[in-house]
């Protein structure tokens, strides 16, 4: 079993501008986001966690958050894992208009109700997302007995959890600069248990 601390990156430009961001738009952390990452790093350092490794989404906001965390925690550079990238929203990527957000929320609602075949136009469906994150967590758990530090995104983890953990949606988003604690057991498919969802 591997304990994974899944950190949602700090606040970034896409959060402020409400821009959907998978590949097209890749904004920096804001000053608030950098402060959130520094506060989380200090909290984790103060609690004495001995992380074996760090892993990160390729998106800038996650990499910038990881740089702050790994520096404070005395870890080497985080390994970039493409599969940790945010939800692939297809043609909605880079948009911030009300219609794009309506499609986004409708698709996530369908996933949460069990309709994993619902697909973002030109993007991925719920099962593809869950399979992608399952692969990433399997790789991490096989290479690190933990605890492992993962810096990624909130929407992709929350959307995939009902499949990965075999349970209900946690009911709220993971806040920017916060960490959820997961237990991952590798088998034919990873078995994920949510230990803490702040």
Rg of the chain over Cα atoms, rounded to whole angstroms, equals 16
* Catalytic-role residue among 9, 11, 22, 153: 9
Q: Considering 11, 47, 82, 86, which one is annotated as catalytic?
A: 86
- Known catalytic residue: 9? yes
Q: How are strands ordered across the β-sheet holding 2-8?
A: 79-80, 53-56, 148-152, 2-8, 179-185, 191-196
Largest CA distance in the chain: 45
Decide if 123 contacts 104 (C-beta within 8 A).
Answer: no
Sequence-ordered list of residues with C-beta below 8 angstroms from that of 198, at least 6 positions apart, any chain: 174, 175, 178, 179, 180
Structure tokens of 124?
């991925």
- Cβ neighbours around 108 below 10 Å, total: 19
Per the annotation, the verdict on 105 as an active-site residue is no
Name the token pair of 186. Answer: 């590798």
Q: Which residue numbers are catalytic? A: 9, 86
């Amino acid at each position: 079993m591997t304990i994974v601390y899944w950190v949602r990156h700090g606040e970034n430009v896409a959060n402020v501008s409400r821009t959907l961001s998978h590949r097209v738009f890749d904004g920096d952390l804001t000053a608030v986001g950098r402060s959130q990452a520094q506060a989380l790093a200090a909290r984790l350092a103060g609690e004495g966690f001995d992380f074996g490794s760090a892993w990160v989404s390729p998106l800038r906001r996650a990499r910038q958050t990881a740089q702050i965390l790994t520096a404070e925690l005395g870890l080497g550079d985080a390994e970039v894992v493409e599969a940790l990238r945010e939800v692939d929203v297809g043609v909605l990527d880079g948009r911030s208009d009300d219609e794009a957000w309506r499609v986004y929320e409708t698709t996530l609602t369908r996933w949460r109700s069990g309709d994993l075949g619902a697909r973002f136009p030109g993007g991925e469906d719920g099962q593809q997302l869950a399979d992608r994150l399952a692969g990433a967590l399997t790789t991490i758990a096989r290479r690190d007995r933990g605890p492992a530090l993962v810096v990624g995104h909130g929407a992709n983890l929350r959307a995939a959890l009902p499949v990965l953990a075999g349970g209900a949606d946690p009911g709220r988003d993971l806040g920017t600069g916060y960490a959820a604690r997961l237990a991952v057991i590798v088998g034919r498919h990873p078995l994920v248990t949510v230990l803490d969802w702040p």
